[in-house]
Amino acid sequence: MNWDWEVVEEFLPRFWDGVLVTCQALLGGTLIAFTLGLVWALAQRSNLVWVRWPVNAVTEFIRNTPLLVQLFFLFYVVPEWGPSMSPLATGVIGLGIHYSTYTAEVYRAGIDGVPRGQWEAATALNLSTAVTWRSVILPQAIRRVVPALGNYVVAMLKDSPMIAIIGALDMLGEARFFSAETFQYVEPITLVGIAFIVIAYPASLLIRALERRLATY
Amino acid sequence: MTWGLWNNWMLPGIWITIQVTLYSAAIALAVSFTIGTARTSRLWIVRFLSGIYFELFRGASALVLMFWLFFALPIAAGWQLVPMWAGVLALGLTYGAYGSEIVRGALAAVPTAQREAGIALNFTKLQRLVRIELPQAWPEMIPPFNNLAIELLKGTALVSVISVADITFSANLIRFTTTESAPIYSIILVMYFVLAFLITRGMRVLERHAKAGVGKAPERSGGLWSKLSLRRGRSEAAGAITAGGAR
Amino acid sequence: MSTPDNNPADTPSKTPSKTPSNTPGNAPDAARTAVGTATGDTPWATGEEIIRFQDVTKRYGRQVVLDDLCFSVYAGKHVTLIGPSGSGKTTILRLLMTLIKADEGSIRVEGDYLTHEERNGKLVPAGERHIREVRKKIGMVFQQFNLFPNMTVMRNLTEAPVRVLGLSRDEAEQRARELLEMVDLTEMSAKYPSQLSGGQQQRVAIARALAMRPRILLLDEVTSALDPELVAGVLDLLRDIAHHTDITMLTVTHEMNFARDISDCVMMFDHGKILEAATPEKLFNDPEHTRTREFLNAVL
């Protein structure tokens, strides 16, 4: 084992660039996953069969096929029909859509977890469906599912290096390029690996703490 | 797309994907039970070490680990892993960490009374684990293991980036030579979905057997959707891939 | 009806009362008979001493469940523990079964310390091996049956004899069939516990405990979880066992008529102490303490 600190020093500026890109991908992906997931969840509870059925089918399909292949699809196929996107933009959309199918399930569980009595009380107060959703059901449901959503953010973090495969310069992408130029493989990839653990561990501790706090509710 | 490419690359690619799935599932299963039971040990040092394994590999990204095993390990340790085994090992070790949480959780859910009955009949600790606790926990593990197996299948696509000629690798190759990207990626997405479906069917059979083995009637699945749905368990909120976050 | 005989060849009975002298926790003999002498006549305190509690204290947090408890049980005798809930009766059984540990004091079974062993004249916490050796003599039936749901009735009865006592599967099954006949469940041997009624499950649990040929049988409120119409069957079975075997029985129950039928001695517990111990005739008809009288009035 020959560890060279000079290589680390040389790699560090690029590493920080990569950290920034990883954070951007994660933030963008999270925003899409959280909002799109809610749309799926509400559509899955729709009274209209022709809304419910296709949404169920599409989310089920996306959830059970590899994110990597979906990224390839977005990166190589979609530009044939429409605008071409940068690797990072493709990555953000890919991560967001893929994880929205998971958050949809989380929201659904949260909505199912709201007691029936809440619906009945809302009906008794003659609230409209929209108001019932907005001010009674969703606030209670989302509060419940915050830790579960957080878990998927951590999971997304760990899947985010896949965007390097389509050419985005996140942490892993920077490491690959650096290695290809300098033929130094050990230090960059080790540093990136440690970085993931260092970010993921406190994040999951935070989620566990959140779970404990919200469990009393 | 020509039949030559299909026969030469895609069919062997399917077989490679199945092999990678099976091998890494075997490693993940072994890791799950070893680490999962170790985390319920009475000895703090065993709990501590297995806890470190769990936190490390749950925090690690499978893809980064795969790259590390493929590029860094040969230089650092001086010996080279066959690409497929670098991939299998990375998948097995990381998904095993998630699996250990399934095993630990299911063992913790076995009623204390069962442990006490085992003590009253003077079983040793190992006998209690093997004859009483694990058999009772096993049926509870199958639905989350089903979800984990599908995640693992999806994860096998990663081996394509270290030049293992699986489905995804073959698809990239065919795209490169024919530039017909839309059909090829659509087809392989369907292939992965079909494989995931087969895993679910297999796990249902396994679950029925396991439940019969503890004298429980298997629950009949409801409508068409629950039959087609590949995921098991009440909600994805407690989904396998992030099982570690729960409790 | 066949009854399990005691002292089989596979449980080598040690010479009793190899009581070590001058070891910690070995208080003067007066303490042991304190309970007996308090009520005068003690016909249950004859023969070989099989269980001995010496200054046993058990706390949960700040709550004292057993308070400096001393008593002995003699071989073949049937002792019933009664008293209000939370008075520590079940704790005694759980201590004996080594499901929990005492905070202070010592428990001996046939002269051997239960959770301690002697090394160089000193008492040290016992290893697993010693505990299992002593525990071999004790069986327990639980309130909630605690049958193994992953095993058939036959497997429930044979698993421990095969794995723990080292019987061959044929021997174990032969023994199990005799016991199933005794508890009148011969036709249930291939069923799983979940397919049995509560009363049937409890009878299997009793057979399972007896299959280990224990010298001591602990019965922890064995009818409390049963529907009322199923209670009689289980109690009749236990009466038979009490009257036809020489197994020492330690029973916690709220069935006072049953206690009267089978007991040589009834101990009334309150706040972790033995309030009084007497023959059932004496205790049920003419208790010494008003507290006992109040309790009996409340439950009878």
Check if the beta carbon of residue C83 is closer than 8 Å to that of residue C273.
Answer: no
CB-nearest partner of B244 from A64, A172, A204: A204
Q: Does A188 score more than 60 pLDDT? A: yes
Chain C CA closest to residue B134: C150
Closest C-alpha among C112, C45, C95, C96 to residue C73: C45
Hey, where are the domains in chain A? 13-215
Cα–Cα distance, C193 to C208 (Å, whole number): 12
CATH topology of domain C76-97+127-137+214-299: Rossmann fold (3.40.50)
Q: Does A14 score more than 80 pLDDT? A: yes
Q: Which chains neighbour B (Cβ–Cβ under 8 Å, 3 or more pairs)? A: A, C
Which residues numbered 195-214 in A keep a CB inside 8 Å of some CB on B?
A: 196-197, 199-201, 204, 207-208, 211
Chain C CA closest to residue B132: C148
Contacts of B120 in chain C (CB under 8 A): 97, 99, 138-140, 142, 146, 209
Torsion-angle region of residue B157: left (phi > 0), alpha (psi -120 to 50) or beta? Answer: alpha
The verdict on B123 touching C (C-beta cutoff 8 Å) is: yes
- Give A1's pLDDT tier (boundaries 50, 70, 90): low
Q: Do A64 and B154 touch (CB under 8 A)?
A: yes
The verdict on B235 touching C (C-beta cutoff 8 Å) is: no
Chain B CA closest to residue C216: B120
Which residues numbered 41-100 in A keep a CB inside 8 Å of some CB on B?
A: 56, 60-61, 63-70, 72-73, 76-77, 80
Q: Given the DSSP bridges, would you call strands C104-109 and C112-113 parallel, antiparallel or unpaired?
A: antiparallel
Chain B CA closest to residue C194: B215
The verdict on B211 touching C (C-beta cutoff 8 Å) is: no
How far is CA C132 from each of CA B40, C97, C161, rounded to the nearest angstrom? 21, 10, 14
The verdict on A177 touching B (C-beta cutoff 8 Å) is: no
* Domains along chain B with CATH numbers: 3-245 (1.10.3720.10)
CB-nearest partner of A65 from B158, B192, B239: B192
Report for A123-127, A129-133, B129-133: range of highest mean pLDDT: B129-133
Q: Does domain A13-215 have CATH number 1.25.40.320?
A: no
Residue pLDDT, tens place only, A38-94: 999 999 988 888 999 999 999 999 999 999 999 999 999 988 888 888 999 999 999
Percent of chain A with pLDDT over 70: 98
Contacts of B124 in chain C (CB under 8 A): 128, 132, 164
Global confidence as pTM: 0.82
DSSP state letter for B69 = I
Could you report how far apart the first and last alpha carbons of chain B are, in Å?
49
Contacting residues for C203 by C-beta, under 8 A, at least 6 apart: C183, C184, C185, C233, C234, C237
Distance of residue B220 Cα from the nearest chain C Cα, in angstroms: 18
pLDDT at B230: 76
Contacting residues for A194 by C-beta, under 8 A, at least 6 apart: none
Residue pLDDT, tens place only, C202-235: 999 999 999 999 999 999 999 988 888 889 999 9
Residue pLDDT, tens place only, C82-133: 998 888 899 999 999 999 999 999 999 998 898 888 888 888 888 888 888 8
Distance of residue B80 Cα from the nearest chain C Cα, in angstroms: 46
Q: Does C163 score more than 80 pLDDT? A: yes
Q: Does C201 score more than 70 pLDDT? A: yes
Q: Do C195 and B215 touch (CB under 8 A)?
A: yes
The verdict on B45 touching C (C-beta cutoff 8 Å) is: no
Residue pLDDT, tens place only, C15-30: 343 334 444 444 444 3
If one counts every other C-beta atom within 10 angstroms of the C-beta of residue A79, the result is 13
- The CB-based long-range contact list for B8-14 (8 Å cut-off, 24+ gap) reads B9/B165, B9/B170, B9/B173, B9/B174, B10/B167, B10/B170, B10/B171, B10/B174, B12/B165, B12/B170, B13/B165, B13/B166, B13/B167, B13/B168, B13/B169, B13/B170, B13/B171, B14/B167, B14/B191
Chains A, C in contact, 3 or more Cβ pairs below 8 Å: no
Hey, where are the domains in chain C? 76-97+127-137+214-299
Burial of C268 (0-12, 13-18, 19+ CB in 10 A): buried
Closest C-alpha among A161, A145, A162 to residue A111: A145
- Higher pLDDT: C79 or C35? It is C79
CB crowding B129-150: b at 16 or more within 10 Å, else e: bebbbbbbbbbbbbbbbbbbbb
The verdict on B120 touching C (C-beta cutoff 8 Å) is: yes
